[in-house]
Each structure stands twice: as structure tokens, then as C-alpha cells.
Structure 1
Amino acid sequence: MTRPGLAAGVLGFALGGFFDGIMLHQVLQWHHFLSLVPGEALRNIEAQILADGMFHVAVYLITAIGLWLLWRARGGLAPSGAGRGVLSATLLGFAVWQLVDVVVFHWIIGIHRIRVDVPNPLAWDIGWIVVVGLPPLAAGLWLARTAPPPSRGGMGGGAVAASLAALCIGSASLASLPPPGVTTALVLFRPGISPDAAFAAAIAAGGRVAWSDPSGSLLAVDLGEDGSTWELLRGGALLVGRSPLTGGCLGWTRLRV
């Protein structure tokens, strides 16, 4: 694989993660990352939200690595037909994410499924692979095997790479957005922060506590238009629904009270 192809494969893998996180964690809310992990310590909402946030952090890191590799490989984008290779590797990387997620995380490790609240989760897993995993895999392999010789030209590598980078940055931005029109953020405080200290931090941030879990470590805080996310972080918050990195998934989480 060429250096641009490696970079594109990493970015395609990251796009698969963003698609998973945005669609399955945030919009559809079919599962959390650790939905099926046994043990009360990992089944409470705080642990689930923290794991989802760390999942998003990992995808951001993969994206950053891919963008860095793409920049380093920019010299290899000049040959005619390089764009076809970049597109092929992107599609293959996206497909690999879907296959790894289902085979490794669903069937081997068993930490979640595509849908955990249905009587036939295996059918949903297989359906997801068929609909979301196999088409980009087939398209990527077809592009790789039918790439035209350099003399016949093809898609410009620079243009395709720039479009890929823009798509990844846009996906990263979309993944960090809270639900539209919502001023209430879910705030998860680190262990050791007492309920009184958590409430005090929410008030100091200009917010109003609308809900609290029994432990007092997970709050729903209405920050209005002027509340400060950074004050919450200074007050001991681990994750905030309106924070730019990990809060997107947190902010979309439905609470059952």
C-alpha cells in the first residue's frame, strides 16, 4: 500500500467510527460502548457515558493520526490516478471499521451489539454488515483492482485527499455538537467530588441543576446562554455535554428518570 493509501485507510477507519458514534450512540441511541459488559460498576449510566466519551476521544486521535499521515504523504498524491487509490483505501478503511466492530466487539468480546434492546441482536449485526459494511468493501476492492494505468489519467489525488480531509474534519465537528436548541448539559464529575461540591460547581458555572442521579456525580445542568463549560471542568467535571471533544455523545444521551 502506498503512503497516501495508508493515510486514507486510517481516515476511512476513523470515518467508520464517526458514523458509528453519530448514528448509533447519538441519534438512534441503540447502544452504549459498554452496554453488555457485566458487573454493576460498569453498567451504571456514569460508566456508560464515560466509556462513550473515551470512544469519541479515541476516534479523534485516529483522525488526527490519519490527517498527519496524509500531510506527510502529500508528495505521493501527484501521480495520475492517485485519487482513485485514495478513494479505494478510504472505502476499505470504512468497511474494516464495520467488520472489526461487529466481529471483534460484538461477537468475540461481546461488549455491545448494534441493537441491545431487541430479541434478535444477531440479525441486526448481520444486517448492519450487509448494508453498511459490504458495499464500501466491494466498492473499495473494485476501485483497487480496476485502477487505470497512469497514462490514462484519473481522479486527481490532491483534490480527493482535500475532500477526504474536509469530510473527516466535518464529521469530527458534527460528532461534537449537542442537540439543536438544547441548553441543558449532562455533566459527569470525577470520583472524589462530593454531591455538594458538584452542585456548587454547577452554580459557580452560572447553571441550574435540573436533575441528579442518586450518587450526585451525574447532573443535568441548564447552562442557559451564558453558562460556562470551562467553570464546570475547573470544578471537577470529567465530561460536559457541551464540551468540544467528548460531550457530543454525552449531550445526546436520553435520561430515564
Structure 2
Amino acid sequence: MPNAPARQPSPTPVPSRLAWAGYLLGFGLGGFFDGILLHQVLQWHHLLTGLEAPAFRDIRVQILADGLFHALMYVIAIGGLLLLWRSRRAFTEQGADRLLFANALIGFGAWHMLDGVLSHWILGIHRIRMDVENRLFWDVLWFVVFGVAFAAVGWWLRRGGGDGARGGFRKAATPVALTLAVLVAGPIAALPPPGVTTVMVLFTPGTTLPAVFQAVAAVDGRMVWHDPSGQLWAIDLGTGGNPARLYRHGAMLVSNTLLPVGCFNWIRG
């Protein structure tokens, strides 16, 4: 009898944490894309623009909400990076790179679909464009293009679509590209919108009121608000103020700067 053909070994299942790494990274990038493009670059809306209560009319509250939103996206993206690191050995398995990229596209689309349904239509905290009459058109356009379409492409790739054109995918390129995208998008999201000159300044414990006044004078600023403890201040820098100077006068953390340099100086001291 002729020998039976050797059975090809079945591929090793890709660990679920690699799949979730793609979902979380794509979801976080979707949030960064929304916040950077719509909140800061185009300034079509802020996170809570649709709320009519007087407290939410304050631009400082709106910017604070945007910052907390970006912080949440950071946490989600970092979770994805940790899962990606823990599943790094899985990239020796066939199809791992495709799965990561496909799931990232699905996560990116899932963010926009969730944002459309929850934020735009159920809670009504904002719409894609607040300055137009036909807001529903822009909501649906964003939902379809950046939500449904991206998720559909990701699902198609996950199901094996495009096998003939896989030459462009490299096993190392996908995780590196996703990691760099998260690391670049996060700091950009921390930058203030154009024209915003107010910063929140957290002074080190024990900073006296005269020292705060001296810090404000050093940047030619104007005091806007402070909390009862006297440590947290809102300072308007005007158009030419340099917030980095505040670190020389007892500031521990200044918002709208990429690195909390003052924290490191305070620790060393």
C-alpha cells in the first residue's frame, strides 16, 4: 500500500492576549485620533460641548474633560502595549502579525461606533460638528467611514482576505508601527488647543503666596483661579508667556507641557 501523505501540523493557536492587544491599541488610537483631530486641530467640538449647564460653558472645564479623556485613552493604550509585550513570542507563529493588525483596525472602528452611539445619540454630550445645522449627516459620515469601514476591513483581514498581497506585512513592522503611533499620539494629545493661554499649575507643598505671586510675575501672567489649598492655580499666560519658567519658582507640574520637569526637580531637591 502506498504510504499516506504526511499530515501537516496544525498551526499553534495565537494567544488571546495578542488579540486583545490589537483591540486595545486600536481602540486607544481611535480615541487619540478623535481627540487630536476634532478637539484640538479642527476644534469642531470638545468632549462635553453638548452639555448646556452653565458649569460646562467654562472653557477650562471643557479642556479638563478633554485631558481626562486623553488620560483614559493613555491607560487603554498602555494596557494594549503591556499585552503586546507579554505575547511577543507569539510572533513566531504564522498569522500573528495579521491578527494584531486586523484587530487594531477593528478596535479603531469600534471606538468610533461606540462614540457615535453613546456620546452623540444616547448621551448627547457632543456631536461631530457643533457649528452646522445638519449635525446628523456628520455623525453618520464619521460612524460609517471611521467606524464601520475600518472595522469591516479589519474583519476581512482577520478572515484571511488579501492573502495574495501579504508581502507588505512584516512580522516586526506591525507591532513597531502600533507602538510608535501610541507613543507619538499621546504626547501630541497633551498639547493645548490653538489660542488657549491658560495653564493649570500645581505648586510644591509649602509654597507661600508671595512665591506664587513671584512665579506669576516671572511669566507676565494673570491669576484666574485657585483651589482652597493654595497649591493648584489657573494662570493666564497671555500670548507670550513661557510656562517652563514656572518650574523655577516652585511649580511641580504645569499642564499643556509635554514633560513634568518640575516633578523631577522637586524629587531631586
TM-score, L = length of structure 2: 0.73
Q: Partners in 1 of 2:248 and 2:66 — Cα distance?
A: 20
Asked if 1 retains the 8 angstrom alpha-carbon contact of 2:40 and 2:192, the reply is no
Q: Partners in 1 of 2:200 and 2:259 — Cα distance?
A: 15
Asked if 2 retains the 8 angstrom alpha-carbon contact of 1:81 and 1:147, the reply is no
CA RMSD of aligned residues (A): 3.3
After TM superposition, give the deviation of residue 45 of structure 1 in Å.
1.6
Q: Residues 73 and 117 of structure 1: is their aligned pair in 2 closer, same or farther, counting only changes over 3 Å? A: same
Within a 5 Å distance, the mapping from 1:161-240 to structure 2 comes to 161-177=175-191, 185-188=197-200, 200=213, 202-203=215-216, 206-209=218-221, 212=224, 218-221=234-237, 222-224=240-242, 227-229=245-247, 231=249, 233-234=251-252, 240=255
Q: Residues 203 and 227 of structure 1: is their aligned pair in 2 closer, same or farther, counting only changes over 3 Å? A: same
**Identity fraction in percent:** 39
After TM superposition, give the deviation of residue 186 of structure 1 in Å.
2.0
Within a 5 Å distance, the mapping from 1:59-78 to structure 2 comes to 59-78=73-92
Q: Partners in 2 of 1:99 and 1:105 — Cα distance?
A: 10
After TM superposition, give the deviation of residue 58 of structure 1 in Å.
0.9
Q: Partners in 1 of 2:38 and 2:49 — Cα distance?
A: 12
Larger radius of gyration: 2
Q: 1:93 aligns with which of 100, 103, 107?
A: 107
Q: Is residue 2:131 matched to residue 1:114?
A: no
For structure 2, the 5+ residue unaligned runs are 1-14, 203-208, 228-232, 261-269
Q: Residues 230 and 9 of structure 1: is their aligned pair in 2 closer, same or farther, counting only changes over 3 Å? A: farther
Aligned amino acid, residue 102 of structure 1: G
Aligned amino acid, residue 228 of structure 1: L
Q: Partners in 2 of 1:105 and 1:225 — Cα distance?
A: 33
Q: Residues 139 and 229 of structure 1: is their aligned pair in 2 closer, same or farther, counting only changes over 3 Å? A: farther
Q: 2:93 aligns with which of 73, 79, 82?
A: 79
How many residues are matched? 230
Q: Partners in 2 of 1:40 and 1:198 — Cα distance?
A: 33
Q: Residues 139 and 148 of structure 1: is their aligned pair in 2 closer, same or farther, counting only changes over 3 Å? A: closer
Aligned amino acid, residue 82 of structure 2: W
What SS does the aligned partner of 1:219 have? strand
After TM superposition, give the deviation of residue 73 of structure 1 in Å.
1.3
What SS does the aligned partner of 1:227 have? helix
Aligned amino acid, residue 235 of structure 2: L
